[in-house]
């Protein structure tokens, strides 16, 4: 079943924020917290520091029926948190074809666009639209 979620970016304090949100919304993680160090090695990716490996790759909780998810950005990879890139609307369609359609319709040729492609967790891509809104697309292959 397709759904929409909200994806937040942090500069190293995603876990702290989500521990706080768990208490505020009286909820638990809806998926296991994944650290950047849990990620399989990717071809061409530079080695990560032990500190970066401890940061959050993905965390999620459910708030009033909506998934609130997050990641830590890596300063060592040139990431900077600025107003506008701290939140992304994450679309989780039912098929790769629908994800491709959405990406094509929303992508404004942004320099940060990543065309949908297979990753170890599923079929993923991202872009910004002509209004500056950030979109992420994911057809997961991980069982819930």
Instruction: Select the more confidently predicted residue: 94 or 79.
Output: 94
CA distances in angstroms from 65 to 15, 31, 62, 76, listed in the order given: 21, 14, 6, 35
Ranges of each domain in the chain: 3-140
Instruction: Select the more confidently predicted residue: 130 or 17.
Output: 17
Are 68 and 8 contacting, i.e. CB atoms less than 8 angstroms apart?
A: yes
pTM confidence score:
0.73
Q: How confident is the model at residue 111 (pLDDT cuts 50, 70, 90)?
A: confident
| pLDDT one-digit tens code per residue, 127-143 | 988 877 889 999 988 76
| pLDDT one-digit tens code per residue, 30-86 | 999 999 999 888 888 888 999 999 999 999 999 989 999 999 999 888 888 876 778
Q: What CATH code is assigned to 3-140? A: 3.10.180.10
Burial code (b: 16+ CB inside 10 Å, e: under 16) for 90-110 equals bbbbeeeeebbebbeebbeeb
């Amino acid at each position: 079943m397709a759904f929409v979620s909200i994806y937040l970016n942090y500069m190293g304090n995603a876990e702290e924020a989500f521990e706080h949100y768990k208490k505020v919304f009286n909820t638990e993680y809806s998926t296991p917290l994944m650290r950047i160090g849990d990620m399989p090695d990717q071809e061409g990716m530079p080695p990560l520091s032990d500190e970066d490996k401890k940061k959050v790759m993905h965390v999620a909780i459910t708030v009033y029926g909506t998934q609130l998810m997050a990641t830590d950005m890596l300063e060592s990879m040139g990431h900077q948190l600025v107003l506008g890139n701290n939140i992304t609307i994450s679309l989780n369609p039912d098929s790769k074809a629908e994800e491709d359609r959405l990406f094509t319709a929303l992508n404004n040729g942004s320099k940060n666009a990543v065309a949908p492609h297979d990753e170890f967790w599923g079929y993923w891509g991202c872009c910004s639209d002509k209004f500056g809104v950030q979109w992420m697309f994911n057809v997961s292959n991980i069982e819930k």
